[in-house]
Homo-oligomer: A and B are copies of this chain.
Amino acid sequence: MTDKALPTIQELMAKPSTDIVDSLKGIYEHSAWVAESLVKNDISSIQSITELATAMQQIVDDSSEEQKLALLQAHPDLGAKVAHLQTLTKESQQEQSSAGLHTMNGKEVETFHSQNNQYKDKFQFPFILAVRNASKHTVLSALKGRLPNSYQHEFVAAISQVHKIAWMRLLQIVDTTNSPGFLTCHVLDTANGCPAANMKITLTKLSEPNAGVIIGEFVTNSDGRLEGGPALKGPTFQVGIYEWTFYAGDYFASKGAYTSGQPFLDVIPIRFGIDNPDDHYHVPLLVSPWSFSTYRGS
Protein backbone atom coordinates (compact mmCIF):
# COMPACT_ATOMS: atom_id res chain seq x y z
CA MET A 1 0.00 0.00 0.00
CA THR A 2 2.83 2.37 0.78
CA ASP A 3 5.11 1.21 -2.02
CA LYS A 4 7.05 4.31 -3.12
CA ALA A 5 6.79 3.22 -6.75
CA LEU A 6 2.99 3.51 -6.84
CA PRO A 7 1.49 6.75 -8.11
CA THR A 8 -0.99 8.71 -6.05
CA ILE A 9 -4.37 9.16 -7.62
CA GLN A 10 -3.43 12.72 -8.61
CA GLU A 11 -0.22 11.49 -10.24
CA LEU A 12 -2.05 8.73 -12.05
CA MET A 13 -4.77 11.00 -13.38
CA ALA A 14 -2.19 13.54 -14.58
CA LYS A 15 -0.54 11.01 -16.88
CA PRO A 16 -1.16 10.82 -20.64
CA SER A 17 -4.28 8.88 -21.57
CA THR A 18 -2.33 5.97 -22.98
CA ASP A 19 -0.46 5.56 -19.70
CA ILE A 20 -3.68 5.69 -17.74
CA VAL A 21 -5.21 3.04 -19.95
CA ASP A 22 -2.07 0.99 -19.53
CA SER A 23 -2.35 1.22 -15.76
CA LEU A 24 -6.07 0.48 -15.64
CA LYS A 25 -6.61 -1.98 -18.46
CA GLY A 26 -6.46 -4.97 -16.14
CA ILE A 27 -8.78 -3.62 -13.48
CA TYR A 28 -11.71 -5.26 -15.22
CA GLU A 29 -10.66 -8.75 -16.38
CA HIS A 30 -9.53 -8.79 -20.03
CA SER A 31 -11.69 -5.72 -20.58
CA ALA A 32 -9.43 -2.81 -21.48
CA TRP A 33 -12.47 -1.10 -23.01
CA VAL A 34 -13.50 0.10 -19.55
CA ALA A 35 -10.25 2.05 -19.12
CA GLU A 36 -10.40 3.21 -22.74
CA SER A 37 -13.90 4.58 -22.23
CA LEU A 38 -12.81 6.27 -19.05
CA VAL A 39 -10.14 8.43 -20.64
CA LYS A 40 -12.54 9.58 -23.35
CA ASN A 41 -14.51 11.36 -20.63
CA ASP A 42 -13.44 14.43 -18.71
CA ILE A 43 -11.53 12.85 -15.84
CA SER A 44 -10.15 16.04 -14.36
CA SER A 45 -12.61 15.88 -11.47
CA ILE A 46 -11.33 12.49 -10.29
CA GLN A 47 -9.39 13.28 -7.14
CA SER A 48 -9.71 10.07 -5.16
CA ILE A 49 -9.56 6.34 -5.66
CA THR A 50 -13.24 6.21 -4.69
CA GLU A 51 -14.13 8.58 -7.51
CA LEU A 52 -12.02 6.60 -9.97
CA ALA A 53 -13.66 3.32 -8.97
CA THR A 54 -17.10 4.91 -9.22
CA ALA A 55 -16.38 6.29 -12.69
CA MET A 56 -15.20 2.93 -14.01
CA GLN A 57 -18.13 1.17 -12.36
CA GLN A 58 -20.52 3.58 -14.01
CA ILE A 59 -19.05 2.77 -17.43
CA VAL A 60 -19.67 -0.91 -16.84
CA ASP A 61 -23.17 -0.31 -15.47
CA ASP A 62 -24.05 1.85 -18.48
CA SER A 63 -22.72 -0.68 -21.00
CA SER A 64 -24.99 -3.02 -22.91
CA GLU A 65 -26.10 -6.40 -21.63
CA GLU A 66 -23.86 -8.01 -24.28
CA GLN A 67 -20.80 -6.12 -23.03
CA LYS A 68 -21.51 -7.09 -19.44
CA LEU A 69 -22.00 -10.70 -20.41
CA ALA A 70 -18.68 -10.65 -22.27
CA LEU A 71 -17.07 -9.17 -19.16
CA LEU A 72 -18.44 -11.96 -17.00
CA GLN A 73 -17.38 -14.56 -19.53
CA ALA A 74 -13.86 -13.13 -19.61
CA HIS A 75 -13.33 -14.40 -16.07
CA PRO A 76 -11.52 -17.71 -15.53
CA ASP A 77 -13.37 -20.83 -14.51
CA LEU A 78 -12.75 -21.68 -10.86
CA GLY A 79 -13.37 -25.29 -11.85
CA ALA A 80 -10.17 -25.33 -13.90
CA LYS A 81 -8.21 -24.10 -10.89
CA VAL A 82 -9.66 -26.75 -8.62
CA ALA A 83 -9.01 -29.45 -11.22
CA HIS A 84 -5.45 -28.21 -11.66
CA LEU A 85 -4.82 -28.22 -7.91
CA GLN A 86 -5.79 -31.88 -7.75
CA THR A 87 -2.96 -32.77 -10.15
CA LEU A 88 -0.23 -31.12 -8.08
CA THR A 89 2.03 -32.40 -5.34
CA LYS A 90 1.15 -31.38 -1.81
CA GLU A 91 3.88 -28.74 -1.88
CA SER A 92 2.72 -27.17 -5.10
CA GLN A 93 -0.85 -27.25 -3.87
CA GLN A 94 0.08 -25.13 -0.89
CA GLU A 95 2.00 -22.69 -3.02
CA GLN A 96 -0.88 -22.17 -5.39
CA SER A 97 -3.72 -22.18 -2.88
CA SER A 98 -3.30 -20.03 0.15
CA ALA A 99 -6.99 -20.42 0.78
CA GLY A 100 -6.90 -24.15 1.23
CA LEU A 101 -8.97 -25.04 -1.81
CA HIS A 102 -6.66 -28.03 -2.20
CA THR A 103 -7.91 -29.43 1.10
CA MET A 104 -11.26 -30.32 -0.46
CA ASN A 105 -11.75 -34.03 -0.03
CA GLY A 106 -12.97 -36.30 -2.81
CA LYS A 107 -16.63 -35.82 -2.12
CA GLU A 108 -16.24 -32.07 -1.91
CA VAL A 109 -14.36 -31.91 -5.19
CA GLU A 110 -17.12 -33.94 -6.79
CA THR A 111 -19.85 -31.68 -5.37
CA PHE A 112 -17.95 -28.62 -6.46
CA HIS A 113 -17.52 -29.76 -10.06
CA SER A 114 -21.10 -30.89 -10.29
CA GLN A 115 -22.49 -27.58 -9.05
CA ASN A 116 -19.92 -25.53 -10.97
CA ASN A 117 -21.00 -27.27 -14.16
CA GLN A 118 -24.66 -26.72 -13.38
CA TYR A 119 -23.86 -23.06 -12.77
CA LYS A 120 -22.11 -22.64 -16.12
CA ASP A 121 -24.90 -24.46 -17.93
CA LYS A 122 -27.59 -22.37 -16.30
CA PHE A 123 -25.98 -18.95 -16.52
CA GLN A 124 -23.51 -19.27 -19.40
CA PHE A 125 -20.82 -17.42 -17.46
CA PRO A 126 -18.32 -18.66 -14.86
CA PHE A 127 -18.90 -18.54 -11.12
CA ILE A 128 -17.18 -15.41 -9.80
CA LEU A 129 -16.45 -14.95 -6.11
CA ALA A 130 -14.62 -11.84 -4.97
CA VAL A 131 -13.49 -13.09 -1.59
CA ARG A 132 -9.77 -12.84 -0.94
CA ASN A 133 -8.47 -16.24 0.09
CA ALA A 134 -11.92 -17.77 -0.01
CA SER A 135 -11.92 -21.00 1.97
CA LYS A 136 -13.40 -24.18 0.55
CA HIS A 137 -16.30 -23.65 2.98
CA THR A 138 -17.02 -20.23 1.45
CA VAL A 139 -16.67 -21.43 -2.12
CA LEU A 140 -18.91 -24.41 -1.58
CA SER A 141 -21.62 -22.55 0.26
CA ALA A 142 -21.56 -19.53 -2.07
CA LEU A 143 -21.87 -21.80 -5.08
CA LYS A 144 -24.70 -23.74 -3.49
CA GLY A 145 -26.38 -20.52 -2.35
CA ARG A 146 -26.29 -18.74 -5.69
CA LEU A 147 -27.12 -21.66 -7.98
CA PRO A 148 -30.92 -21.36 -7.47
CA ASN A 149 -30.98 -17.64 -8.38
CA SER A 150 -32.89 -16.48 -11.42
CA TYR A 151 -30.70 -15.57 -14.40
CA GLN A 152 -31.23 -11.83 -13.96
CA HIS A 153 -30.64 -11.95 -10.23
CA GLU A 154 -27.39 -13.87 -10.62
CA PHE A 155 -26.28 -11.64 -13.47
CA VAL A 156 -26.55 -8.64 -11.16
CA ALA A 157 -24.82 -10.54 -8.33
CA ALA A 158 -21.94 -11.53 -10.61
CA ILE A 159 -21.45 -7.96 -11.87
CA SER A 160 -21.36 -6.82 -8.25
CA GLN A 161 -18.56 -9.34 -7.58
CA VAL A 162 -16.71 -8.01 -10.61
CA HIS A 163 -16.91 -4.46 -9.28
CA LYS A 164 -15.50 -5.68 -6.00
CA ILE A 165 -12.57 -7.36 -7.71
CA ALA A 166 -11.96 -4.13 -9.62
CA TRP A 167 -11.86 -2.20 -6.35
CA MET A 168 -9.37 -4.62 -4.80
CA ARG A 169 -7.16 -4.34 -7.89
CA LEU A 170 -7.31 -0.53 -7.85
CA LEU A 171 -6.06 -0.55 -4.27
CA GLN A 172 -3.01 -2.52 -5.45
CA ILE A 173 -1.90 0.07 -8.02
CA VAL A 174 -2.54 3.42 -6.34
CA ASP A 175 -0.60 4.91 -3.46
CA THR A 176 -3.29 5.75 -0.90
CA THR A 177 -0.91 6.76 1.87
CA ASN A 178 -2.27 10.26 2.17
CA SER A 179 -5.93 9.57 1.63
CA PRO A 180 -8.34 11.49 3.86
CA GLY A 181 -9.88 8.54 5.71
CA PHE A 182 -9.56 8.13 9.46
CA LEU A 183 -10.61 5.88 12.32
CA THR A 184 -12.45 6.99 15.46
CA CYS A 185 -13.95 5.28 18.48
CA HIS A 186 -16.52 5.96 21.18
CA VAL A 187 -17.46 3.89 24.22
CA LEU A 188 -20.87 4.20 25.85
CA ASP A 189 -21.81 2.50 29.09
CA THR A 190 -25.35 1.27 28.46
CA ALA A 191 -25.75 0.04 32.03
CA ASN A 192 -25.30 3.54 33.40
CA GLY A 193 -26.37 5.66 30.44
CA CYS A 194 -23.15 7.64 30.19
CA PRO A 195 -19.89 7.78 28.24
CA ALA A 196 -17.40 5.19 29.48
CA ALA A 197 -14.60 7.43 30.72
CA ASN A 198 -11.11 6.29 31.53
CA MET A 199 -11.34 2.93 29.74
CA LYS A 200 -8.11 1.56 28.35
CA ILE A 201 -8.21 0.55 24.68
CA THR A 202 -5.54 -0.80 22.38
CA LEU A 203 -5.54 -1.12 18.62
CA THR A 204 -3.79 -4.05 16.95
CA LYS A 205 -3.05 -4.50 13.26
CA LEU A 206 -4.00 -8.02 12.22
CA SER A 207 -3.13 -8.04 8.53
CA GLU A 208 0.30 -7.56 6.97
CA PRO A 209 2.37 -5.46 7.12
CA ASN A 210 2.88 -5.37 10.88
CA ALA A 211 0.41 -8.13 11.62
CA GLY A 212 0.12 -8.65 15.35
CA VAL A 213 1.61 -5.30 16.28
CA ILE A 214 -0.18 -3.06 18.78
CA ILE A 215 -0.31 0.24 16.90
CA GLY A 216 -2.15 2.36 19.41
CA GLU A 217 -2.88 2.64 23.12
CA PHE A 218 -5.61 4.92 24.36
CA VAL A 219 -7.61 5.88 27.42
CA THR A 220 -11.10 7.28 26.83
CA ASN A 221 -11.80 10.84 27.90
CA SER A 222 -14.84 12.07 29.83
CA ASP A 223 -16.95 11.85 26.67
CA GLY A 224 -15.90 8.22 26.07
CA ARG A 225 -13.80 9.20 23.05
CA LEU A 226 -10.10 8.88 22.31
CA GLU A 227 -8.04 11.77 23.62
CA GLY A 228 -6.12 13.37 20.77
CA GLY A 229 -8.44 12.67 17.88
CA PRO A 230 -8.51 9.81 15.38
CA ALA A 231 -6.74 6.56 16.23
CA LEU A 232 -5.53 6.36 12.63
CA LYS A 233 -5.25 8.95 9.90
CA GLY A 234 -2.97 9.78 7.00
CA PRO A 235 -0.19 7.24 6.48
CA THR A 236 -1.24 5.11 9.46
CA PHE A 237 -4.78 4.69 8.10
CA GLN A 238 -4.39 1.75 5.73
CA VAL A 239 -6.67 -0.83 4.20
CA GLY A 240 -6.45 -4.00 6.29
CA ILE A 241 -7.73 -5.88 9.30
CA TYR A 242 -7.67 -4.33 12.76
CA GLU A 243 -8.78 -5.17 16.27
CA TRP A 244 -9.77 -2.91 19.12
CA THR A 245 -9.19 -4.39 22.56
CA PHE A 246 -11.46 -2.80 25.15
CA TYR A 247 -10.61 -3.29 28.83
CA ALA A 248 -14.26 -3.24 29.83
CA GLY A 249 -13.84 -5.43 32.91
CA ASP A 250 -11.36 -2.96 34.38
CA TYR A 251 -13.74 -0.14 33.61
CA PHE A 252 -16.70 -1.74 35.34
CA ALA A 253 -14.55 -2.80 38.29
CA SER A 254 -13.44 0.77 38.74
CA LYS A 255 -17.06 1.93 38.63
CA GLY A 256 -17.81 -0.47 41.47
CA ALA A 257 -20.30 -2.25 39.20
CA TYR A 258 -21.16 -5.79 40.14
CA THR A 259 -19.43 -8.28 37.89
CA SER A 260 -19.04 -11.99 38.45
CA GLY A 261 -15.76 -13.56 39.63
CA GLN A 262 -14.88 -14.50 36.11
CA PRO A 263 -16.64 -11.54 34.51
CA PHE A 264 -18.93 -12.37 31.61
CA LEU A 265 -17.28 -9.54 29.71
CA ASP A 266 -13.75 -8.48 30.55
CA VAL A 267 -11.34 -7.92 27.68
CA ILE A 268 -13.48 -7.33 24.58
CA PRO A 269 -11.93 -7.69 21.12
CA ILE A 270 -13.69 -6.05 18.19
CA ARG A 271 -12.22 -7.12 14.85
CA PHE A 272 -13.01 -5.07 11.76
CA GLY A 273 -11.79 -4.37 8.26
CA ILE A 274 -10.92 -1.08 6.63
CA ASP A 275 -11.57 -1.21 2.91
CA ASN A 276 -11.67 2.37 1.75
CA PRO A 277 -8.77 4.76 2.46
CA ASP A 278 -11.06 7.72 1.70
CA ASP A 279 -13.69 7.01 4.34
CA HIS A 280 -14.28 7.88 7.95
CA TYR A 281 -14.59 4.67 9.95
CA HIS A 282 -16.31 5.17 13.27
CA VAL A 283 -16.25 1.89 15.20
CA PRO A 284 -17.84 2.39 18.62
CA LEU A 285 -18.62 0.09 21.52
CA LEU A 286 -21.90 0.10 23.40
CA VAL A 287 -21.33 -1.98 26.50
CA SER A 288 -22.82 -3.13 29.78
CA PRO A 289 -21.28 -5.83 31.98
CA TRP A 290 -23.55 -8.32 30.16
CA SER A 291 -23.92 -7.17 26.58
CA PHE A 292 -22.20 -5.21 23.88
CA SER A 293 -22.63 -4.11 20.31
CA THR A 294 -20.70 -2.35 17.60
CA TYR A 295 -21.41 -1.03 14.13
CA ARG A 296 -19.93 0.83 11.20
CA GLY A 297 -20.71 4.39 12.19
CA SER A 298 -20.06 7.70 10.50
- Interface residue total, chain A, C-beta cutoff 8 A: 83
CB distance from A183 to the nearest CB of B (A): 12
Tell me which residues from 252 to 298 in chain A have a Cβ below 8 Å from any Cβ of chain B: 253-256, 258, 260-269, 271-276, 286, 288-298
Whether a CB of chain B sits under 8 angstroms from the CB of A195 is yes
Tell me, in angstroms, the Cα distance from A63 to B53 when the chains sit together: 35
Whether a CB of chain B sits under 8 angstroms from the CB of A33 is no
CB distance from A209 to the nearest CB of B (A): 14
CB distance from A55 to the nearest CB of B (A): 14
Query: Which among B68, B200, B256, B273 is the interface contact of A260 at CB below 8 angstroms?
Result: B273
Query: Which among B137, B155, B168, B250 is the interface contact of A152 at CB below 8 angstroms?
Result: B155
Tell me, in angstroms, the Cα distance from A171 to B132 when the chains sit together: 44
CB distance from A130 to the nearest CB of B (A): 7
CB distance from A195 to the nearest CB of B (A): 5
Whether a CB of chain B sits under 8 angstroms from the CB of A88 is no
CB distance B167 to A137 under 8 Å?
no
Query: Which among B137, B145, B195 is the interface contact of A256 at CB below 8 angstroms?
Result: B145
CB distance A190 to B135 under 8 Å?
no
CB distance B194 to A298 under 8 Å?
yes
CB distance A156 to B145 under 8 Å?
no
Tell me, in angstroms, the Cα distance from A265 to B255 when the chains sit together: 22
Question: Which residues in B have their C-beta under 8 angstroms from that of A151?
Answer: 65
Whether a CB of chain B sits under 8 angstroms from the CB of A61 is yes
Query: Which among B65, B223, B247, B292 is the interface contact of A137 at CB below 8 angstroms?
Result: B247
Given contacts A224-B298, A271-B266, A271-B269, contact A146 B62 (CB under 8 A): no
CB distance A273 to B263 under 8 Å?
yes
Question: Which residues in B have their C-beta under 8 angstroms from that of A134?
Answer: 250, 253
Tell me, in angstroms, the Cα distance from A153 to B153 when the chains sit together: 8
| This chain's copy number in the assembly | 4
Tell me which residues from 128 to 187 in chain A have a Cβ below 8 Å from any Cβ of chain B: 129-132, 134-135, 137-138, 141-142, 144-146, 149-153, 155-157, 159-160, 164, 167-168, 171
CB distance A254 to B188 under 8 Å?
no
Question: Can you list 23 residue pairs at the A/B interface with Cβ under 8 Å?
Answer: A62-B150, A65-B152, A130-B261, A132-B262, A138-B254, A145-B256, A146-B256, A164-B260, A164-B261, A168-B261, A188-B296, A188-B298, A193-B289, A194-B296, A224-B298, A262-B274, A264-B296, A265-B271, A266-B273, A269-B269, A288-B291, A291-B294, A291-B296
CB distance B250 to A145 under 8 Å?
no
CB distance A137 to B273 under 8 Å?
no
Query: Which among B138, B164, B269 is the interface contact of A250 at CB below 8 angstroms?
Result: B138
Whether a CB of chain B sits under 8 angstroms from the CB of A191 is yes
| Least CB separation from A64: chain B residue | B151
